[in-house]
């Protein structure tokens, strides 16, 4: 995902190399860029108010606005200085940010010609994203221009992009991972609390971003619908399902051997008592993730443990 820069360039671009080095320093793993892109999708969908969660549900004007929001959220996350004629100044060099839903679809205005461009693309459906840097010279641009005098990268130009991340994992949109019948069943419920319960039943074993909870619940206090005191955690415990928060229950997820949620994610897990001292120690005994064929007969245990209980592993 993070290949070394090519050394066969006709002329070495020191400014480009310095920008790449700074971007790698700011985000060695790409997690911060992935979070920016996830947030941009979620803001565009505005699921809490609209219930939308797919790209094809957006209006054309909203799709066009994605690139602007991507630039704004990137600047907020990394605190880039503003450029003179470009969006950012990174490592002292002017850099313009460009987003396209399709690889190579970036439209480059005249003010970006001969400057550095940060080009990014992604797919919420496939849960991947890519980001690279290129110097927008005449040699890498198509000769044709549109009415606004914008041009795009030629085939040679696309091959010359220095990719920092290529098809890197994007925090998933679980509603795009479930089959249509499961999604229909979630949204068929009249009330937000019922839809939230059904979400965690359907998404058992999958990471659920807090934005999806808001989309399904359609309520201002959406996250409250997950917690105890009558929320999904209490209701689904009766069905042997734990709902783990990435903020508080990462160690339990590790002990159960399920995907570990980030601080802004959840995961629901159906559990059964373990036959040995393996798994997660909760409620005075060990528990493991249920397997196909297991018959859950006990409610899921409480998630808060006395201070003298064995380590959660």
* pTM exceeding 0.85: yes
Q: For residue 273, list its beta bridge partners.
A: 287
Please, which pLDDT band fits residue 77 given cuts at 50, 70 and 90? very high
- Cα–Cα separations (whole angstroms), residue 269 to 223, 229, 238, 261, 272: 18, 19, 13, 12, 10
Q: Largest Cα–Cα distance in the chain?
A: 72
Q: What secondary structure letter does DSSP report for 153?
A: B
Label the pairing between strands 207-209 and 162-169.
unpaired
Q: 50: Cβ–Cβ under 8 A, 6 or more apart, which residues? A: none
pLDDT at 209: 95
Structure tokens belonging to residue 59: 């209006």
d(CA 278, CA 275): 8
Give the residue ranges of DSSP H helices in the chain: 14-26, 31-45, 47-50, 60-78, 155-159, 174-177, 180-187, 192-202, 210-217, 232-237, 250-256
Say if residue 64's pLDDT is above 60.
Answer: yes
Is the CB of residue 164 less than 8 Å from the CB of residue 26? no
- Cα–Cα separations (whole angstroms), residue 260 to 58, 185, 196, 206, 247: 31, 26, 20, 10, 10
pLDDT at 143: 73
d(CA 182, CA 180): 5
Q: For the chain, what is the mean pLDDT?
A: 90
Q: For residue 189, list its beta bridge partners.
A: none
pLDDT at 296: 66
Mind listing the pLDDT tens digit for each residue in 153-175? 999 999 999 999 999 999 999 99
Say if residue 308's pLDDT is above 90.
Answer: no
Q: What secondary structure letter does DSSP report for 277?
A: S
d(CA 133, CA 249): 38
Mind listing the pLDDT tens digit for each residue in 200-239? 999 999 999 999 999 999 987 778 878 767 789 999 999 9
């Amino acid at each position: 995902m993070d290949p070394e820069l090519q050394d066969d360039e006709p002329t070495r671009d020191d400014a480009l190399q310095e920008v790449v080095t700074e971007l790698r320093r700011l985000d060695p793993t790409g997690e911060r860029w992935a979070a920016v892109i996830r947030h941009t999708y979620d803001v565009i969908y505005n699921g809490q108010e609209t219930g939308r969660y797919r790209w094809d549900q957006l209006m054309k004007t909203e799709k066009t606005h994605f690139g602007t929001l991507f630039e704004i959220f990137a600047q907020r996350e990394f605190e880039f200085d503003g450029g003179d004629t470009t969006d950012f100044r990174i490592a002292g060099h002017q850099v313009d940010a460009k987003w396209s839903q399709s690889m190579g679809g970036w439209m480059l205005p005249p003010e970006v010609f001969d400057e550095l461009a940060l080009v990014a693309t992604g797919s919420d459906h496939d849960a991947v994203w890519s980001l690279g840097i290129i110097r927008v010279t005449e040699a890498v641009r198509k000769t044709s221009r549109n009415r606004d005098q914008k041009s795009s990268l030629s085939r040679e130009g696309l091959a010359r992009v220095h990719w920092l991340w290529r098809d890197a994992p994007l925090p998933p949109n679980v509603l795009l991972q479930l089959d249509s019948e499961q999604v229909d069943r979630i949204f068929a419920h009249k009330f937000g609390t019922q839809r939230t319960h059904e979400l965690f039943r359907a998404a058992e074993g999958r990471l659920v971003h807090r934005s999806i909870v808001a989309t399904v619940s359609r309520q201002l206090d959406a996250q409250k619908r997950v917690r105890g005191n009558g929320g999904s955690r209490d209701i689904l415990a009766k069905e042997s399902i734990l709902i783990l928060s990435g903020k508080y229950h990462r160690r339990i997820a590790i002990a159960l051997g399920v995907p570990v949620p980030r601080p802004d994610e959840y995961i629901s897990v159906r559990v059964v008592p373990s036959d040995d001292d393996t798994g997660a120690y909760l409620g005075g005994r060990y528990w493991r993730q249920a397997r196909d064929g297991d018959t859950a007969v006990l409610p899921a245990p409480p998630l808060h443990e006395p201070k003298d209980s064995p380590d959660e592993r």
